[in-house]
Structure 1
Amino acid sequence: MCNACYVDEATKNKIIAYNAEFHKCTKSPYGKDDEIGMLHMIDAQSRSSIISCTDASKVFDLSVDHFIGMPGWFGAGDQPYQIWMTHTPQGEIVANTMNASPEANQLVAYSGDAISMYTHCGTHIDTFNHFGYDGEIFNGFTAKDHLGSRVWQKCGPEKHPPILARGVLLDVAAMHGVDTLPASHAIGKADIEACLKKQGTVLKPGDVVLLRTGQMLLWPDMSFTKNTPGLNREGAEYLAKHGAIMIGADNLTLEQTPSAHDLNFFPVHTYLLAEAGVPILEMAQLEEIAAEKLYEFAFFGACIKLRGATGAPMRPVVMPLN
């Protein structure tokens, strides 16, 4: 085992991936009511530890903008991002929706708007109810017993704590000496270990691990969505078994597309969410921290608490360590 990735036996008991069985939803070692999986590794001690060595003088924003025409996952017919005005200053003078006087509408320039989008637009997290096996999701919750007419009753993003943890960047594209990995390149164990060695980076249980493929150099062209280089199941298992609490990337799907598996069109999603109890972060803007060669940092991200949703927007930020 790579010395930079050693996990002792006591820590293995806290890592859900060691309880996983192939293509079966894992029962959580954190109890029958667990809905957050590896995020249990965040506690008062871990938060205090990372805050104590954080340099807050520089902050890097890892999120992308939301805008009409933005790239996204539309392969299954889900709606793209839309925004429209619900009130405009001149419109209020004409429509007078507030039943105000003409003088008041002229004085108070009122603008308002609304949005509509798939919950997996832009920089976002995937929760455990997003993918499972045979009608079941992480920790044995089932569509039969826990899915209502509108949303899941279990494992929604409202259950996630704010994620404040050590973060690690694996710049796989740079390790290969390219700006962007080739289409459909699979990131497995060999790539990860070579990247760790090249960067001199150490993985630790409790890390948020972010993979750079270079796909954000294509953003916002729609080619960003086609045949994405990304993590394969072997690579996902490697990171999960070394204690990652969330795994993310700068691409559309985190994982390699199209899938290399005949029956499973999202093998990394199903593995991480249903088997390993590791939430996913997608479409992270990693170019700035890659340019700075910032391979270790304090990560902070909190998702919108959309009750019962399968995903939610997140605005992650990172800061260097002292």
Structure 2
Amino acid sequence: MDHESPHRDQERGPAAFQTNDALLDALRIPQQGRVFSLALPRFHGMPLFASHPPFEVSMYRTPLGLRGDGEEPWGPVNEVNLGYMAEVTSGTSHSGAHVDALAHMTIGPDDHWYAGVSAHEHLGDRGPKVGDASKLPHFVTRGVLLDVPGYRGVDALGAGEPIYADELQAVTQHQETEVRPGDVVMIRTGYLSKWPDPEALARHRTAGPDISAAKWLLDAGVVATGTDTETYEVQPAPDLGSPANPQPVHTLLLIEEGIYLFESIYLEEIAREGVHEFLFIALPTKIEGGTGSMLDPVAII
């Protein structure tokens, strides 16, 4: 993962080219030895982006089932009635805290994604062949929290409220926080403070960064950014542009620039503790053909 400078290739974004020195600098951030989870538990019936398949956990093997089926995994000698349980977990990789792979979003008549890779050439029946989840880098870097509701003095932003570039700049000044090249920047909207109440969540779906904020983050040199919402960016988009684009932020950051997007990241605890700078660790599961990876990331101070 040590390269002299970021390169634009078909498989990885700038996050994959962190230098050894940058990694060591990030590892020096923790001073207290405190670890904060940035994910909430996943469960049957959990709230998800509307068009995603549901998250399911089904038992595949149980002690009673093994006996009922006459199965003997260890052979006939089992005087202690040893059994086991195993489950099948199904759903999208975009369930709960997750990161989008570069192949997650497509655009144009050729359905292309980052670096001009096209679904017409690089998509099989088992998923994308280029820029899929098996190519996701690990994230061990400096993390920054920009707490927008904290800056505004509210519990959570209202439904569809945009976060503009000038407000992100104001939040950094208010927190006395600096965004540096190579950072992963998390933007809190307060959405997950209502988890998992569907009616309460609906009143706050979906605030988030607009296109000006995306450009601000890009200019700051971030390699990834995330929010506590299911769509990262504000929805509906306040400026669709021409031709109309319902998700201009995903288009700019993920498709055009290869900046990884984290979604449904739990930021309530670090916000309450006033944590604005931390060591961020997220290790994606490398699944060929995946369009993202569920995560259980942590912030360490």
Task: State yes or no: 1:85 paired with 2:59.
Answer: yes
Deviates more, 1:226-235 or 1:112-121: 226-235
Other structure's SS at 1:257 match: coil
* Contact kept in structure 2, 1:92 and 1:105, CA below 8 Å: no
Distance, in Å, in 2 between the alignment partners of 1:203 and 1:41 is 18
Distance, in Å, in 1 between the alignment partners of 2:214 and 2:198 is 26
Structure 1 position 308, deviation (Å): 2.4
Of 176, 187, 191, 1:211 maps to: 187
What amino acid is the match of 1:67?
Answer: F
Structure 1 position 97, deviation (Å): 2.8
Other structure's SS at 1:67 match: coil
User: Could you state the TM-score of these two structures normalised by the residue count of structure 1?
Assistant: 0.85
What amino acid is the match of 2:192?
Answer: M
Of 272, 292, 301, 1:311 maps to: 292
Distance, in Å, in 2 between the alignment partners of 1:111 and 1:295 is 41
What amino acid is the match of 1:214?
Answer: G
What amino acid is the match of 2:99?
Answer: I
Aligned ranges 1:1-322 → 2 under 5 Å: 30-31=7-8, 33-55=9-31, 57-74=33-50, 76=51, 78-98=52-72, 104=78, 107-134=81-108, 135-223=111-199, 224=201, 227-262=205-240, 263-320=244-301
* Contact kept in structure 1, 2:29 and 2:278, CA below 8 Å: no
Could you tell me which runs of 5 or more consecutive residues in structure 2 were left unpaired when the two chains were aligned. Answer: none
* Contact kept in structure 2, 1:187 and 1:232, CA below 8 Å: yes
* Contact kept in structure 2, 1:259 and 1:266, CA below 8 Å: yes
Other structure's SS at 2:112 match: coil
Distance, in Å, in 1 between the alignment partners of 2:237 and 2:76 is 60
Distance, in Å, in 1 between the alignment partners of 2:123 and 2:297 is 29
Structure 1 position 52, deviation (Å): 2.8
* Contact kept in structure 2, 1:93 and 1:102, CA below 8 Å: no
Distance, in Å, in 1 between the alignment partners of 2:56 and 2:179 is 39
Structure 1 position 161, deviation (Å): 2.1
Aligned structure 1 segments of 4 or more residues deviating by more than 4 angstroms: 99-103
Structure 1 position 150, deviation (Å): 1.9
Structure 1 position 100, deviation (Å): 6.3
Identity rate, percent: 32
Other structure's SS at 2:222 match: coil
What amino acid is the match of 2:290?
Answer: A
Could you tell me which runs of 5 or more consecutive residues in structure 1 were left unpaired when the two chains were aligned. Answer: 1-13, 15-28
Structure 1 position 101, deviation (Å): 6.7
Distance, in Å, in 2 between the alignment partners of 1:159 and 1:37 is 10
Deviates more, 1:105-114 or 1:197-206: 105-114
Structure 1 position 276, deviation (Å): 2.0
Cα distance, 1:148–1:101 mapped onto 2, change above 3 Å: closer
Deviates more, 1:93-102 or 1:310-319: 93-102
Structure 1 position 116, deviation (Å): 0.6
User: Could you state the TM-score of these two structures normalised by the residue count of structure 2?
Assistant: 0.91
What amino acid is the match of 1:280?
Answer: L
Other structure's SS at 1:252 match: coil
Deviations 1:137-157 (A, max 9, x none): 111111111111221111112
Deviations 1:21-44 (A, max 9, x none): xxxxxxxx714x442212144121
Question: What is the aligned partner in structure 2 of residue 18 from structure 1?
Answer: none
* Contact kept in structure 2, 1:41 and 1:206, CA below 8 Å: no
**How many residue pairs were aligned?**
291
* Contact kept in structure 2, 1:216 and 1:285, CA below 8 Å: yes
Other structure's SS at 2:121 match: helix
Distance, in Å, in 2 between the alignment partners of 1:39 and 1:213 is 24
Structure 1 position 307, deviation (Å): 1.3
Distance, in Å, in 1 between the alignment partners of 2:288 and 2:19 is 23
* Contact kept in structure 2, 1:41 and 1:245, CA below 8 Å: no
Task: Give the CA RMSD over aligned residues.
Answer: 2.0
